[in-house]
């Protein structure tokens, strides 16, 4: 079993056994050849600095005790932040109102729109489109449903 898999399993056990972390979930774990371990965690109630610190200490203790990365390594624990791909339906829901760029299967250009809503099956994006109606231009809101199983990559964008 790879180190990243072991760490993910240990974190899942931590989330189920410790009430303070019951709404947390691992978004991604990356290990570079230079022994830099990056762990991205999110939470339905927000991933606080305190939670981050406690998870970091928890992982550091395990890494040191088991020697999985040797004596010298870098450990970073954080929330995913803007710019990292969304992976779980709850991440879409927590970003409601934000601009999202979605690469969809079999489409060359990504879809872009504000997240109107999200459930367990899909995210609904909304865009303002200018249409010509009887020689007048009119702004119309267009909703697009995007099923998660059609999403290749989705990234929240800063809306200026």
Q: What is the pLDDT of residue 160?
A: 66
On the CB side of 133, CA atoms within 13 Å amount to 6
Q: Above 80 in pLDDT, residue 23?
A: yes
**Residue 65: which domain range?**
3-78
Quickly state the pLDDT bin for 81 (edges 50, 70, 90).
confident
Residues 61, 30 share a domain? yes
CATH code at 136? Answer: 2.30.30.100
Query: Per-residue pLDDT averaged across 139-152, rounded?
Result: 93
Quickly state the pLDDT bin for 138 (edges 50, 70, 90).
confident
Query: Per-residue pLDDT averaged across 58-74, rounded?
Result: 94
Residue 68 included in any domain: yes
Give the predicted TM-score (pTM) of the model.
Answer: 0.77
Residue 83 included in any domain: no
- C-beta of residue 16 within 8 angstroms of C-beta of residue 22: yes
Residues 140, 116 share a domain? yes
What is the number of domains present in the chain? 2
Residues 52, 97 share a domain? no
Residue 145 included in any domain: yes
């Amino acid at each position: 079993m790879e180190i990243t898999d072991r760490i993910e399993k240990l974190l899942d056990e931590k989330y189920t056994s410790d009430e303070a972390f019951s709404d947390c979930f691992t978004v991604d774990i990356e290990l570079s050849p230079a022994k830099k371990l990056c762990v991205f965690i999110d939470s339905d109630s927000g991933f606080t600095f305190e939670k981050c610190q406690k998870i970091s200490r928890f992982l550091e203790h395990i890494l040191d005790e088991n020697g999985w990365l040797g004596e010298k390594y870098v450990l970073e624990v954080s929330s995913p932040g803007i710019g990292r791909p969304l992976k779980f339906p709850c991440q879409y829901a927590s970003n409601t109102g934000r601009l999202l760029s979605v690469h969809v299967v079999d489409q060359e250009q990504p879809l872009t729109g504000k997240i109107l809503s999200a459930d367990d099956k899909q995210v609904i994006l909304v865009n303002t489109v200018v249409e010509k109606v009887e020689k007048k231009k009119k702004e119309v809101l267009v909703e697009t449903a995007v099923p998660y199983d059609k999403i290749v990559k989705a990234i929240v964008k800063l809306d200026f």
